[in-house]
């Protein structure tokens, strides 16, 4: 009987030791957790086991619930770290996306600014070219206006007449056609017509005037040359100037008319500037 009681007492002690060791381990871990500080998750860090308990660090008689209670905080903390890592990764991606969008917008603005700068440069170059062209035209206009009344001899033609006649021959008409045909639609020219006749006094002057009038009449009627562009004068038997300084100038023998085409720079002005005046000639009555 005594042996049975002893055996029962030993068995009770053996079965109660694991529970006692587990309780002592839980009580030892609680103060350590209370004195810990917070970490990156905002929660207190897990407290390491400082008390080994009755069985040391490894309890061979630990129950399943005890193990779960020890492992569950670690599992929860791992899950929290995974969620925090995922959240940080998402935030990093969002920041990177916004940064890339900002870089693209800045690049687009820079390209637009470069295009505006190129356009401004092109416009400045065009303005410079326009100013240069305008300055060139202005210089041309100034030169032409300065020489507007400076007529230069371009073509000279001489028409011969028979003595006592003022009618134009076929050769004379051909010569006048050759002179007047290029003058169509031109400007900046005048035609000088001078008649010369043999004889003396008013009779010679009247004869030379008739011959000159025949030439003017042909130019006006057949070639539409304006009358105000023609200067006509009957010279009679005026001396013919010579190239040398001979004091005895030769006088005309027979009848003839000299036609001189005189031009200025107005045609050059009209071709170089769209704002050139159409004509500066004034009507000149025939003498």
Which of the residue ranges 4-8, 208-212, 273-277, 278-282 has the most confident prediction, judged by mean pLDDT?
208-212
| pLDDT tens-digit series, residues 99-108 | 999 999 999 9
| pLDDT tens-digit series, residues 146-170 | 655 567 778 889 989 887 788 888 9
Does 285 map to a domain?
A: no
Task: Report the domain count for the chain.
Answer: 2
Does 206 map to a domain?
A: yes
Report the relative pairing of strands 189-196 and 230-234 from DSSP bridges.
Answer: parallel
Residue 26 pLDDT more than 70? no
Does 142 map to a domain?
A: no
Does residue 283 or residue 217 have the better pLDDT?
217
CA dihedral 123, 129, 134, 137 (to 10 degrees): -160
H helical segments located in the chain: 2-34, 64-146, 170-180, 201-223, 266-272
**pLDDT band at 119; cut points 50, 70, 90:** very high
CA–CA gap between residue 284 and residue 287 (Å, rounded): 9
Does 135 map to a domain?
A: no
Does residue 70 or residue 101 have the better pLDDT?
101
Residue 282 pLDDT more than 50? no
Which tokens hold the place of 84? 């925090």
Same domain? For 50 and 158 the reply is no
Question: Which of 62, 89, 108 is a domain's end point?
Answer: 62
Evaluate whether 258 touches 158 at the Cβ level (below 8 Å). Answer: yes
Does 203 map to a domain?
A: yes
Question: Model pTM?
Answer: 0.43
CATH number at residue 204: 3.30.1330.60
**pLDDT band at 15; cut points 50, 70, 90:** low
| pLDDT tens-digit series, residues 206-231 | 988 999 999 999 999 999 999 999 99
Does 43 map to a domain?
A: yes
What range does the domain containing 23 cover?
2-62
Which tokens hold the place of 233? 């004068």
Residue 265 pLDDT more than 70? no
Does 21 map to a domain?
A: yes
CA–CA gap between residue 103 and residue 268 (Å, rounded): 59
Expressed in angstroms, the distance from the first to the final Cα of the chain is 180
CA–CA gap between residue 15 and residue 231 (Å, rounded): 152
């Amino acid at each position: 009987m005594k042996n049975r009681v002893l055996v029962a007492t030993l068995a009770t002690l053996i079965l109660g030791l694991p529970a006692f060791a587990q309780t002592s381990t839980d009580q030892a871990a609680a103060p350590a957790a209370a004195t810990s500080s917070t970490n990156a998750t905002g929660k207190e860090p897990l407290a390491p086991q400082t008390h080994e308990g009755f069985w040391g660090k490894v309890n061979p008689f630990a129950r399943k619930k005890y193990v779960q209670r020890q492992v569950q905080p670690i599992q929860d903390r791992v899950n929290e770290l995974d969620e925090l890592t995922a959240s940080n990764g998402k935030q990093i991606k969002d920041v990177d996306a916004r940064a890339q969008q900002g870089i693209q917008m800045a690049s687009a603005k820079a390209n637009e600014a470069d295009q505006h700068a190129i356009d401004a440069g092109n416009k400045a170059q065009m303005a410079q070219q326009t100013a240069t062209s305008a300055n060139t035209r202005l210089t041309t206009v100034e030169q032409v206006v300065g020489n507007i009344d400076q007529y230069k001899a371009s073509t000279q033609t001489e028409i011969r007449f028979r003595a006592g006649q003022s009618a134009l021959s076929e050769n004379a008409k051909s010569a006048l056609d050759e002179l007047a045909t290029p003058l169509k639609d031109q400007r900046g020219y005048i035609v000088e017509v001078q008649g010369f006749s043999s004889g003396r006094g008013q009779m010679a002057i009247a004869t030379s005037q008739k011959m000159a009038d025949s030439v003017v009449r042909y130019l006006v009627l057949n070639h539409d040359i304006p009358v105000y562009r023609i200067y006509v004068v009957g010279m009679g038997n005026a001396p013919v100037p010579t190239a040398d300084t001979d004091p005895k100038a030769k006088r005309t023998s027979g009848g003839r008319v000299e036609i001189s085409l005189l031009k200025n720079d107005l045609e050059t002005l009209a071709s170089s500037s769209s704002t050139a005046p159409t004509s500066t000639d004034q009507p000149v009555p025939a003498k």
